[in-house]
Amino acid sequence: MGNLSFRLRLGLLFVATLVIVQLLTAGLIYEVTRRALVTEGERQLTANAGAFVSQMDDISARVAGNVEVISLDYALRSAIAERDRGTVLSMLRNHGRRVGASGMLWIGLDGAVLADTNDATTGNVDVTPRRFPFPDLIKKAYSERTAAVVVLDGNAYWMVVVPIYAPQPVGLVAVNVPLDNTLLSHMQQLSALPRDIELLAQAVPNHWSVVARGSSQTNLLGSIAPVNGDLPWKPTLMMVGGMQYIVMAQHLKQPVNTAPVVALLGYSLDDALRPFHSAMVAGTILLCLGLAMGLLVAWLVARSVSRPIEALAAAVKRIEVGDYRAPVSVQRHDEIGQLAVAFGTMTDAVRQREDRIRHQAMHDPVTNLPTRMAAEESINRSIATDDGVGGALLMIGIARVPDIIKTMGHSLCDRLMRDAGERIRDVSDGAFIARVTDTQFMAWLPQTDKSNATAAALRILDALNTPYKEKDVAIDRLPAIGVAIYPTDGIRAGTLLRHAEVAQFAASGSSTALSFYNVATDPHRPERLSLMGDLRNALNHNKLSLHYQPKLALATKTIDGAEALVRWDHPKLGEVPPDAFIGMAEDTGNIQRVTRWALTAALAQAKRWSEHGLHLQLSVNLSTRDLDDPDLPGKIITLLAIHELPPHCLTVEVTERAIIDEHDLAIRILRRLSDHGVGIAIDDFGVGQSTFAYLRHLPVSELKIDQMFIKNLGTERKDQIIVHSIVDLSHRLGYHVTAEGVENKAALDYLTSIGCDHAQGYYIAHAMATNDFATFVKANSSPKGAGVGGRNAKR
């Protein structure tokens, strides 16, 4: 149904309605007629049953009258009085033929059968007389005509009994008249009895049998199959021989001690309906004609209704693809015409609303300049029509917008940005100008090379460097412009915009405020995303490793500690420098996983070394993001407990910036670690913003002087003074001091002379793999072994 047209469905609805109405009408007429015939059949059957009994009584009376005539025969009375058996038999046979009897009986006054026309031995002197089986008929015979239906030898008979007087009763004569098929057919011809009639006898208890049947051969008894002697004593509708019949059973007059005999009458409902067949055929023909006419009318109506709706549907499909032409005019004044007018009005309203929404979506409400989406569409169209001639995209950033909003509010900032857009448009002839973000504009210069792009960018910088003035306010914008060249830096608008934005960020920190995109210095290359995925995979499959840089105890000239440094051997890129992935891991939030892995691996290795007698204090670096985790102390203490290591064997290194950025939370975390005995070291000390006054609030146990002060320590007097001061003040505050980046003997000797605690750098040893580090420590376990050269590989 989902694929049918509206016109076809409407036509089918009309046709189905017509067919259903006609079928219901025909069915109703048939059912009413049938019910009327059933009622009439029940009435006729009841009447026929009564008529049949009455007719049977009339025939019994006539037979009894004929028999009474026999009883008046003088010769017969004399023979009976004289008990002349032979004469009586002869006369009974003659009279029986005249009345149609099948048997005649001479019955004595004591009820004994003295003679039987069907049994010559009856009544002989040497044979014991049999008793007449119906004594109640004998009693009634003296007072009234007596006739009844009896069953003898499985057949039904009229039994008529009359007394013989001479002049006193001398005996009785009984006449048997058979009730057979011939008699029933004759009765049907003489009266309006139903065609289907059967006489049933119950010679055997609970079993009925047919003893006579009328002109019809329909087996009524076999179809109703009575059980336990039950018959339909009231008119009952049932199936007989595959046809519908109304059947009813009727009792007949009988003596007391004979088998029951009933009449079973049937009324054929199908025969009663047969005269209506011609009317039904005519009705069917009329139904088909009406259906054909209904089909034609339904098709015409459906077409008149569906045509305007189909036209409106076609208009809807045009609107779906953005075609808002007016729909086909529908010249009607009914509801469909009103729908067409309303649809046309709605189409105009939708077109106007969509135009307004499109303009709002594609234009900045403050400057009325196109948005980034509109800019991308326009640039891509320009590129498609320029045949690769070239072009330049300028990303113009206004650095002070956030400060202006915070200080002066949004309204003034909106006016400032509107003024900036107008200035850019005034000095950029032929350029497509758009506002792509809250702080950035864009200018697309088609068919422009690098030199022309530079000139256009300088004009824009000059225009924007003029302060924005309003009343008593003069505001500098601090513009910066990044440039991406088509097709060198990209062949699609999205790529050019992204590269120009990267260049603009670079220009914001330069003195010229102008920068061209350079793929070599792009920190947001797609390769970084791929590298981040590889780093996650390396963490999942334990593909990272730790190298250890020895820490030399200057007082004893022995190696008593090391800094654990993460290394990554990429399967395709080879050795990836730590600076290439540590910062990226911090930006993406994966640094916490790296730190957990490093802590676990370092403590596991410290445990193995401890079991081999190598007791070292290991340092592991923590990131700023690690100090965001309030559960960090618990995790570290748990790892120490798992590896059965004392807390003092671990030192965590944090930078000054990490503590300053998250001051309160960082101090709470570091203090919990310190309370458990874990060492806290400030890494790269001296290049940040912290001071000794600030550090006295921190739970610090060690300061690591940045290598900037150590590189030239052997020759630079100022560096010596600074380092000496740091070491002296640190010791006074209770801190241990480690010098990083020791690259020569002079620096090492000076550190030793001023009492610095530890030194590390490539002059002592570079960061080494686990096995190499163990070998190095064992080889340099005495003071004379220290000072092996190498390269500084600390991240």
Backbone phi and psi for residue 746, each to the nearest 5 degrees, phi listed first: -60, -45
Backbone phi and psi for residue 698, each to the nearest 5 degrees, phi listed first: -100, 150
The residue among 711, 742, 688, 697 whose CA lies nearest residue 551 is 742
Q: How far apart are the C-alpha atoms of 116 and 174, rounded to whole Å?
A: 9
For residue 603, CA distances in Å to 744, 767, 780 come to 31, 17, 23
CB neighbour list of residue 133: distance below 8 Å, 6 or more residues apart: 150, 257, 258
pLDDT number for residue 87: 86
Q: What is the pLDDT of residues 351-389, one digit of tens each?
A: 778 778 877 778 888 999 999 999 999 999 888 887 667
Bridge-based pairing state of the strands 650-655 and 617-621: parallel
Q: Which two tokens stand for residue 71?
A: 């009883």
DSSP 790: -
Q: How far apart are the C-alpha atoms of 416 and 469, rounded to whole Å?
A: 9
3 state SS of 398: strand
Q: What percent of the chain has a predicted confidence (pLDDT) above 90?
A: 31
Residue 245 parent element (H or E): strand 243-251
| Residues listed for the chain | 795
DSSP 327: P
Task: Give the pLDDT band of residue 786 (cuts 50, 70, 90).
Answer: very low
Give me the helices (H) in 72-113, please: 74-81, 85-99
Q: Which amino acid is at 434?
A: A
Backbone phi and psi for residue 344, each to the nearest 5 degrees, phi listed first: -60, -40
pLDDT number for residue 228: 46
pLDDT number for residue 792: 36
Bridge-based pairing state of the strands 261-268 and 243-251: antiparallel
Task: Give the pLDDT band of residue 123 (cuts 50, 70, 90).
Answer: low
3 state SS of 79: helix
Q: What is the mean pLDDT of residues 529-554?
A: 89
3 state SS of 670: helix
Q: How far apart are the C-alpha atoms of 164 and 77, rounded to whole Å?
A: 6
Mean pLDDT score of the chain: 82
Torsion of CA 726, 727, 730, 732, to 10 degrees: -120
CB atoms within 10 A of CB 589: 10
Q: Which amino acid is at 386?
A: D
Position 189 pLDDT exceeds 70: yes
3 state SS of 139: helix
Contact 702, 735 (CB under 8 A): yes
Task: Give the pLDDT band of residue 252 (cuts 50, 70, 90).
Answer: confident
Q: Give the range among 144-148, 485-489, 648-652 with minimum mean pLDDT.
A: 144-148
pLDDT number for residue 419: 93
Q: How far apart are the C-alpha atoms of 536 and 533, rounded to whole Å?
A: 5
Give me the helices (H) in 264-409, please: 269-273, 277-320, 335-362, 372-386, 401-408
Q: What percent of the chain has a predicted confidence (pLDDT) above 70?
A: 87
Contact 266, 240 (CB under 8 A): yes
Position 258 pLDDT exceeds 70: yes
- Class of residue 238 by CB neighbours under 10 A (exposed 0-12, middle 13-18, buried 19+): middle
Task: Give the pLDDT band of residue 605 (cuts 50, 70, 90).
Answer: very high
Q: What is the pLDDT of residues 317-355, one digit of tens each?
A: 777 666 766 655 666 666 666 777 777 777 777 777 877
Backbone phi and psi for residue 194, each to the nearest 5 degrees, phi listed first: -65, 155
Position 85 pLDDT exceeds 70: yes
3 state SS of 257: coil
Most confident range, picked from 196-200, 405-409, 593-597, 787-791: 593-597
Position 18 pLDDT exceeds 70: yes
Position 783 pLDDT exceeds 60: no
Q: What is the pLDDT of residues 273-300, one digit of tens each?
A: 777 677 777 777 877 787 777 777 767 7
CB atoms within 10 A of CB 241: 12
Q: Give the range among 291-300, 666-675, 729-738 with minimum mean pLDDT.
A: 291-300
Residue 266 β-bridge partners: 196, 247
Return the higher-pLDDT residue of 757 and 283. Answer: 757
The residue among 57, 123, 131 whose CA lies nearest residue 88 is 123
DSSP 145: -
Q: What is the pLDDT of residues 645-665, one digit of tens each?
A: 999 999 999 987 777 655 678
Q: How far apart are the C-alpha atoms of 131 and 110, rounded to whole Å?
A: 9
Q: What is the mean pLDDT of residues 150-177?
A: 84
Would you give the distance in Å from CA 225 to the centre of its chain?
Answer: 58
Contact 101, 175 (CB under 8 A): yes
Q: What is the mean pLDDT of residues 43-49?
A: 79
CB atoms within 10 A of CB 199: 26
pLDDT number for residue 130: 82
Helix 277-320 with 335-362: angle, nearest 10 deg: 30
The residue among 763, 749, 764 whose CA lies nearest residue 561 is 764
Contact 578, 567 (CB under 8 A): yes
CB neighbour list of residue 618: distance below 8 Å, 6 or more residues apart: 548, 561, 562, 563, 564, 602, 603, 605, 606, 649, 650, 651
Q: How far apart are the C-alpha atoms of 243 and 127, rounded to whole Å?
A: 55
Strand order in the sheet with 103-107: 113-116, 103-107, 169-178, 155-165, 146-152
Does this model's pTM top 0.75? My answer is no
Q: Which two tokens stand for residue 689?
A: 């913003």
pLDDT number for residue 631: 92
Q: Which amino acid is at 269?
A: L
Residue 654 β-bridge partners: 682
CB neighbour list of residue 487: distance below 8 Å, 6 or more residues apart: 388, 390
Position 567 pLDDT exceeds 50: yes
Q: What is the mean pLDDT of residues 406-413?
A: 87
Question: Which residues in 740-754 are b (16+ Cβ under 10 Å) and which e?
Answer: bbbbbeebbebbeeb
Task: Give the pLDDT band of residue 137 (cuts 50, 70, 90).
Answer: confident
Task: Give the pLDDT band of residue 227 (cuts 50, 70, 90).
Answer: very low
The dihedral of CA 329, 333, 338, 341: what is its sign?
Answer: positive
Residue 204 parent element (H or E): strand 196-204
DSSP 370: B
The residue among 465, 458, 445 whose CA lies nearest residue 398 is 465
